[in-house]
Structures are given as C-alpha cells and as structure tokens.
C-alpha cells in the first residue's frame, strides 16, 4: 500500500503536468479567440452591404477587395447605462476627431486617417439623439503607414475617452482588454508592418 508521501508525490506530479499543459496551450487559445472575435466583427463593420452613414466604408469594388486586418476596441459603460451623447460628441471634438457621415475619425499629422469611432450598437451612428452604452474604435492595419504607432495612438485615445466617460476598455468580444491581449495585438501590428515593408520593396 503506497505511503502518504508517495500519494502526495503522485498528485503533485499530476498537478504539475496539468499546469504545464495549461501554460503551453493558453497563449494559443487566446490568440485564436482574439482572431475569431475580430473575424466575427468584420461583416458588421466592413461588409460590402453596410448601410451608408454607419462607418462610411462603402468604396469601389477594387478597394473593397483589398485585404483587411482590423483591430477593434469597445468602450463599454461600467454600469451599462447610456452615455451622455452631448458629452461624448464634445469630448470627441475636443480630442480632434473629425465628424463624417454619422461617425468620427482620427487623423495623423499628415491628414491620413488612423481609426474610426462609432456607436457599438447598430446602425453605429453618433448623433445628438443616439442612445448607446458602447463606443467602437476600429483600426484597419492595412490602411495606415505605421500600424504599431496607429494602434498605440488608438489605445491612448481609448484610455483618455474611457477615463472621461467612466467606461471599460474591451476587445472585439467585449471582454476586458488585458496586457496579454495588448501584447498580442502589438505583435500582430509589427507583423503587418514587416509585411508591408516587404511588399513595398518587392514592388520597386
């Protein structure tokens, strides 16, 4: 009959094995979850049949066919109550966001668009009479010159808005944004940057 020490050693070994498996597979699962969440959100935000005036992304067929890689952040009211829309609109304008067809966009110093802001509830319009408890920030990594800098700017912008509106910063699945998710997204932006650099060099 095994002694207590032997039983403890066996149980400890099993637990250690399970912990190792968990630590090994967790990053893979997290990356898959984030990517699936972003993919699931694509049709609503950037589909060809999006209603005019939501995010204003209806383009000609050639541009619509271009590859997209979206990073989506949700700013969710902490108590799920609707934001004061006058406060939201004033705040966005004070942060130099530009109003266009029912949504806002933020541009860099050269006038190039970095990301867009809309209501997270369809049809996505941000108007004085809009009722929403979710703000949506969307960045397409293939439409900016410096994906990493654009993401960092959007994250800083989201932090400023969330602080003023008492909102939580969430990922595309509306789960709280963690440091691990942020590092994953930064890693993805760097991959896109390298890919764009390679494509530019190859086209010359």
pLDDT, one tens digit per residue, over 49-85 is 333 334 554 444 444 445 788 999 999 999 999 999 9
Task: Write the CA distances from 197 to 58, 132, 138, integer angstroms.
Answer: 27, 39, 23
Task: Write the CA distances from 172 to 35, 62, 83, 92, 144, integer angstroms.
Answer: 9, 27, 19, 21, 20
Residue 29: band (very low, low, confident or very high) from pLDDT cuts 50, 70, 90: very low
DSSP string, 84-108: -HHHHHHHHHHTT-EEETTEEEEE-
Residue 64's CB is within 10 A of a number of other CB atoms, namely 13
- Residues 112-123 have pLDDT tens digits of 999 999 999 998
Beta carbons within 8 Å of 55's beta carbon, 6+ residues apart: 45, 46, 103, 116, 118, 124, 138
CA nearest to 120, candidates 75, 178, 156: 75
User: How do the domains of the chain map onto residue ranges?
Assistant: 65-203
**Pairwise CA distance, residues 192 & 56, whole Å:** 24
CA nearest to 141, candidates 194, 189, 201, 198: 189
| C-alpha torsion sign, points 140, 69, 180, 137 | positive
- Domain 65-203 -> CATH class: alpha beta
- Residues 94-112 have pLDDT tens digits of 999 999 888 999 998 888 9
The pLDDT, as a whole number, for residue 49 is 33
Starting at the edge strand that comes first in sequence, how are the strands of the sheet with 167-170 ordered? Answer: 98-100, 103-107, 113-119, 134-140, 70-77, 167-170
Min mean pLDDT across 60-74, 131-145, 165-179 is at 60-74
Residue 3: band (very low, low, confident or very high) from pLDDT cuts 50, 70, 90: low
Mean pLDDT, to the nearest integer, of 142-171?
95
Contact criterion met (CB below 8 Å) for 126 and 102: yes
Contact criterion met (CB below 8 Å) for 150 and 115: yes
Mean pLDDT, to the nearest integer, of 122-141?
95
Mean pLDDT, to the nearest integer, of 16-31?
60
Residue 1: band (very low, low, confident or very high) from pLDDT cuts 50, 70, 90: low
The pLDDT, as a whole number, for residue 47 is 37
Residue 195: band (very low, low, confident or very high) from pLDDT cuts 50, 70, 90: confident
The pLDDT, as a whole number, for residue 37 is 43
Task: Please say if the pLDDT value at position 48 is more than 60.
Answer: no
């Amino acid at each position: 009959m095994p002694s207590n020490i032997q039983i403890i050693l066996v149980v400890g070994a099993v637990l250690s094995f399970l912990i190792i498996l968990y630590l090994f597979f967790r990053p893979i699962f997290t990356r898959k979850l984030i990517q699936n969440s972003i993919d699931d959100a694509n049709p609503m935000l950037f589909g060809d049949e999006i209603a005019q005036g939501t995010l204003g992304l209806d383009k000609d067929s050639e541009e619509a066919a271009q590859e997209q890689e979206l990073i989506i952040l949700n700013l969710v009211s902490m108590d799920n109550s609707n934001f004061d829309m006058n406060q939201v609109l004033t705040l966005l304008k004070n942060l130099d966001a530009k109003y266009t067809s029912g949504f806002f966009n933020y541009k860099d110093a050269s006038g190039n668009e970095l990301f867009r802001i809309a209501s997270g509830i369809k049809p996505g319009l941000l108007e004085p009479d809009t009722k929403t408890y979710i703000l949506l920030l969307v960045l397409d990594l293939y439409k900016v010159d410096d994906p990493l800098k654009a993401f960092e700017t959007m994250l800083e912008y989201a932090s400023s808005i969330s602080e003023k509106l008492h909102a939580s910063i969430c990922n595309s699945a509306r789960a709280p944004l963690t440091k691990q998710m942020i590092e994953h997204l930064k890693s993805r932006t760097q991959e896109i940057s390298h890919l764009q650099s390679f494509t530019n060099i190859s086209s010359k």
